[in-house]
Structure 1
Amino acid sequence: MVNLEELCKNACEVKNQIGMLGCDSKNRVLISAADMLLKQEKEILEANAIDVENGKKNQMPEGLLDRLTLNHDRIQSMADGLKQVAALDDPIGEVLSMKKRPNGLIIGKRRVPIGVIGIIFEARPNVTSDAFGLCFKTGNCVILKGGSDAIHSNIAIVKALKAALTMEGVPETALSLIEDTSRETAAEFMKMNRYVDVLIPRGGKGLIQAVVNQATIPVIETGTGNCHIYVDETADFDMAINIINNAKTQRIGVCNAAESLIVHSAIAAEFLPKLYTKLKESNVELRGDERALQYLGAAKELVKPATEEDWGKEYLDYIMSVKIVDSIDEAIGHINRYNTGHSEAIITKDYDEAQKFLNEVDAACVYVNASTRFTDGNEFGFGAEIGISTQKLHARGPMGLDALTSTKYIIYGNGQIRK
């Protein structure tokens, strides 16, 4: 096994070569990689079965187990994602501006690759192919550090992707997987700023905070998702129930699932019992404040009192907090206090209330009358995504190709000297 520093050094040594690849060459690799995933599907599923079985033995939560599990459809989706990225416009070389200065200098700004991108992630093997596709399309090398829960799956996926690189005559060190899953190796990786240009963590709050606090490499922080839905007093009940049910139950183990519900007091008594009936079909537990308990019926088996911890919790489970408010200002204040900067939604018929919510809620993605589940690179038309950035510098929201580029200034002169 290649030691960590050598692995990072190898990626750094080929980053300029990868950065100079033309669009056609990169697209051929991505299409070959998609085909190779399908050709090696049997091996990938066999490896994934080992990880899933270990997860069950270790009593992995249902939401995380769902993230870990692969099947034919999910591998097909991974392959389709690579082909979608291949079909996207290549941002590298795009000239963003070109201006002539009074002294005759022509100053332009051009998109360029970042270089070597490190990604630390948990039990989501689809991240392996998504990250490779986006990083490679933007001329970057990528070093992946997955968790022990998905190590067999990740090794099998990377083997398929590397086969595509080799087949197309591209250095396979454009993609590397750190197979040592120990925390010590992860901590060492976070210090490899000599070779790695940026680090992107994808996973739970603990992982993200560990990377932010320990890394000497610049970090793009991707966030956990305590996503709220606020049901305004003018909301259409059927629309609201449908959106909440989708946002909460379609996939519970993802960061854009709704975890928190806020309801205007003017409609709570009528609305909450109807919502409870719908969510009961999926056994969603509702943890409410005093007024919510009153309207829901505190004696019901799926109704419990909320604690202070519930307002800021990402459950990744069939649980939802419920807060009653008397105004949109109170709703916005609650959201901005407890949210994680990910995705927030309002259900309303009132245009002014919708605009106020859009303007004042501090999050990467803010919705009017739609499910938070749409916060996704594919849904936004980016192909795959590298993660959902909840910070405000460089990138915010679903990170597609543009977020994996930097810029350089290009200056044309004809003999100018500075006086």
Structure 2
Amino acid sequence: MQQTTDNQDHAAVELSVHDYMVGLGRNARAASRIMMAATTQQKNDALLAIGDVLNEQREAIAIANAIDVAKGEANGLDPALLDRLALTPERIDSMIEGLLQVAALRDPCGEITDLSYRPSGIQIGKMRVPLGVVGIIYESRPNVTIDAASLCLKSGNATILRGGSEAINSNRAIAKCISAGLAKAGLPATSVQVVETTDRAAVGELITMPAYVDVIVPRGGRSLIERIANESRVSVIKHLDGICHVYIDDNADTDKAFDIALNSKTHRYGVCNAMETLLVAEAVAAQVLPPLAAAYAEKGVELRGCSATQALLPGINAATESDWDTEYLAPVLSIKIVAGMDEAIDHIAAHSSGHTECIVTENYSKARQFLARVDSSSVMVNASTRFADGFQYGLGAEIGISTDKIHARGPVGLEGLTSQKWIVLGDGHILA
């Protein structure tokens, strides 16, 4: 098995990496023209067929994944990354279930909106269409190969997937299942292509091929995303950090505030929609913070506070200026006591990454102001930041969460992988 995978890697780079990637790009562009005209039934048939093949090939996938995990252990891969890398039977079940869920989602392609007559007699409107070719770059988690492929397929796009080198054998095994499922449904196998080489130069090629790739979606650490944002000649849908805030207003219901602040931080730590900074109005700080601090202590959360917070919660660490700009992804929380909503909004404007912010308040006017004045991809009233998720928003699945303002913002599902074009309907109309 090891010899086979090594041979595949050599075959992938027998040409130069540039020529190899251009070949993938040409294949993807040709496939995208077929995919954009594919019916919903064809796309759903492909998704269901891929699920069937995955189920049939469980053993082959497990063998390939075991090679990756063994290599990761030998190379001292971080335990958290090893956990993400492993494909347990339950995770394969989840991959298959994910395909079924995407197949059940409404197909956005071809939807016509805003159709109206102009004085000239023509009708104009907008039709939702695929983006074309989507390049996705990700690390560690081979299940992303299925997630990304399924969303791109359902939205009528072709895709080039470049997973992390640590998951190369797993991704190849999954790619074979995808190709077989596409063939069963009568769609081009090149609609989904996994980059077969682990050479890092492949990423540089992928992000500089605007003739063949329409958009890049990076999923990984900050260094990867910054590199792609800086070097890409293709449009990028990205987010760098999830520095999310919860502001407890002086008009908050304290029970709601307790539950929301605790859940936003401790439901899961290593996720981009976890709260990293808690802002509390000084009028309610003495009432709200001590019980919260006790609850955080039970969960093992380290607290770092401003001087006013330290005075109220003796023994906690001081928050430095860098803490306000840090995505911890860990049981660490920075806390700041503010005069009121205006100061909270100013702090968010200065330190937020534009991901998700929440106000806890019973004051309708303040809630409306917060929604209008806070410029993040998700802004919430009286709800945990953990709801900032494609599944929770009813998108069925997401390819990522964008903190950009164009073209997609927030959780990116099927609609985020499409665009709109103007359509004009006439009956021999000419311009006089």
The answer, yes or no, to whether TM exceeds 0.5 is yes
Residue in 2 that maps onto 1:341 = 354
**TM-score of the superposed pair, with normalisation by structure 1:** 0.91
Q: 1:86 aligns with which of 103, 107, 110?
A: 103
Amino acid at match of 1:170: L
Query: Are 1:203 and 1:224, in contact at CA under 8 Å, matched by a contact in 2?
Result: no
SS at 1:281 equivalent: helix
SS at 1:96 equivalent: strand
Whether 2:103 is the aligned partner of 1:112: answer no
Over 3 Å counting, the alpha-carbon distance change for 1:311 and 1:51 in structure 2 is farther
Query: Are 2:226 and 2:240, in contact at CA under 8 Å, matched by a contact in 1?
Result: no
Query: CA separation in 1, counterparts of 2:424 and 2:56?
Result: 47
Superposition CA RMSD, Å: 2.3
Query: Are 1:233 and 1:266, in contact at CA under 8 Å, matched by a contact in 2?
Result: yes
Residue in 2 that maps onto 1:225 = 242
Over 3 Å counting, the alpha-carbon distance change for 1:307 and 1:149 in structure 2 is farther
Over 3 Å counting, the alpha-carbon distance change for 1:352 and 1:106 in structure 2 is closer
Residue in 2 that maps onto 1:27 = 44
Deviation at 1:144, TM superposition (A): 1.0
Q: 2:322 aligns with which of 295, 302, 309?
A: 309
Whether 2:295 is the aligned partner of 1:278: answer yes
Query: Are 2:62 and 2:87, in contact at CA under 8 Å, matched by a contact in 1?
Result: yes
SS at 1:263 equivalent: strand
Residue in 1 that maps onto 2:209 = 192
Over 3 Å counting, the alpha-carbon distance change for 1:9 and 1:400 in structure 2 is same
Residue in 2 that maps onto 1:350 = 363
What's the CA shift string for 1:397-417, capped at 9, x where partnerless?
111111111222232333344
Deviation at 1:143, TM superposition (A): 0.7
Deviation at 1:49, TM superposition (A): 4.8
Query: CA separation in 2, counterparts of 1:54 and 1:249?
Result: 32
Greater shift, 363-372 or 352-361, is seen at 352-361
**TM-score of the superposed pair, with normalisation by structure 2:** 0.89
Whether 2:406 is the aligned partner of 1:371: answer no
Query: CA separation in 2, counterparts of 1:33 and 1:371?
Result: 35
What's the CA shift string for 1:190-242, capped at 9, x where partnerless?
11111111111222222222111111112222342111111222333343333
Deviation at 1:167, TM superposition (A): 2.4
Whether 2:412 is the aligned partner of 1:399: answer yes
What's the CA shift string for 1:69-89, capped at 9, x where partnerless?
543443333322221211122
**Structure 2: segments with no counterpart, 5+ residues:** 1-10, 13-19
Amino acid at match of 1:278: A
Whether 2:321 is the aligned partner of 1:321: answer no
Amino acid at match of 1:113: P
SS at 2:299 equivalent: coil
Greater shift, 220-229 or 189-198, is seen at 220-229
Deviation at 1:243, TM superposition (A): 2.3
Residue in 2 that maps onto 1:99 = 116
Query: Are 1:82 and 1:384, in contact at CA under 8 Å, matched by a contact in 2?
Result: no
What's the CA shift string for 1:116-164, capped at 9, x where partnerless?
1111122333322121111101111011112234333333332322221
SS at 2:236 equivalent: coil
Whether 2:153 is the aligned partner of 1:136: answer yes
Deviation at 1:64, TM superposition (A): 5.1
